[in-house]
Copies of this chain bind each other. A is one copy, B any other.
């Protein structure tokens, strides 16, 4: 008999009669002539309650059916007399598929996030991490659907790259040479004998390639892994994380902000709707204000404010900050959070930043002092999206590259996109894990990805 997922069983309008579920035992309680079991199969947060009378097939092994054991249960789905659930299974037969000896680390008690990180191969079996990873999946799908419905083309930009992009942070290098004894010429490593015949790195962003694709296909987006070798052990950074990078031809900064705002609202609302019980877990146990925050994001109109005006507001509160603010300063998380949590109490988008603190590809404004950049700021996280209108004018772009000391010869292909049929275009980047932190209230980025990669951590 085929198994039915618990998620489907619990949504039943009427009993289908006899069903089979497979899953893992969360708890078992024995009475005199029968046992209760709570079984979870990962399809949803909720367990199904199983009543096993002592005379049924398989009951003789009931003592071995401990927390963590895998079981198959066949029986009738019946309305539950209990308060906590609508349905329960009156078991006719129980099979122990895989026992879980006493050493099983996930016995029924609260475990710290630190401990669970050390057993990341088992933590998805807990309520909390099961919920995180279901939300992660649903959010991924909501992102794809948002762009698919708007006729965006999903593109895969390369992970291994020959360029160091904007010099944003440290790069991982990739090689197929024997590192202990690389081929050398005149005492220097001879990369012409490596796999790609030159030095190779892990990408920090797919943006430049996405621009090439947007200037052919119109609206495109990436959703893929990116890498930073920054040796910082914070709760907000990982060496490997996923980014979403839309890029839109014939789109200016205002339309870029419109899209980003619609995007965040849409996927937030989708996840709230489709993962209601998983989100509720975090609202109860992780962040009491979560639902309020998310509803506010989904429903309110975002403030839009020029960097210059944001700096005016911030500099009047400079005595609160570790880093005082002035025009030309990069905004820190403390400033962003002040604006969003204290001053406006509403999500906001800051635009038109000084050119001196932004990368070469952002479009220079008519004032020559600022560029058409934008950052979206949300409560608790700070910046969640960074984007810009791109410099589409070949001469201005070349001047910017020279100004920032880049080697134009390495970017001939990028400049070609401005040489032939150039057009206004814009895009943005979303840190996928940052959005998951926002949606769950989880404070440490290592807890929203199955197997985090940070300095010294390469297990599993």
Contacts and interface: CB of A to CB of B under 8 A. Distances in A.
Q: Which size bracket describes the interface of A in this complex? A: 35 or more
User: How many monomers of this chain does the complex have?
Assistant: 2
Given A98-B422, A141-B148, A172-B174, A198 B458 contact: yes
A218 interface: yes
Contact of A196 (B72, B106, B453): B453
Contacts of A70: 215, 421-423
A78 interface: no
A176 interface: yes
Contact of A43 (B5, B130, B151): B151
A162 B458 contact: yes
B141 A213 contact: no
Nearest to A143: B144
Interface string A194-208: 011110101000000
Contacts of A182: 179
Contact of A176 (B41, B72, B173): B173
A176 B458 CA distance: 14
A319 to B, nearest CB: 39
Interface stretch (A120-128, A287-295, A354-362): A120-128
Contact of A239 (B7, B195, B227): B195
A34 interface: no
Contacts of A141: 144, 148, 154
Interface of A: 3, 5, 7-8, 22-25, 41-43, 68-70, 72, 97-101, 103-104, 106, 121-122, 124-125, 129-130, 133-134, 136-137, 140-141, 144, 148, 151-162, 170-176, 179-180, 182, 188-189, 195-198, 200, 202, 209, 212-213, 215-219, 224-225, 227, 229, 231, 239-240, 242, 249-250, 392, 413-414, 416-424, 449-451, 453, 455-460
30 contacts: A3-B250, A42-B153, A100-B420, A100-B421, A103-B419, A121-B413, A121-B417, A122-B212, A122-B420, A124-B212, A124-B213, A124-B216, A133-B213, A133-B217, A136-B154, A156-B449, A158-B451, A158-B453, A158-B460, A159-B159, A159-B240, A162-B459, A172-B176, A176-B231, A195-B455, A196-B453, A209-B450, A209-B460, A213-B450, A413-B459
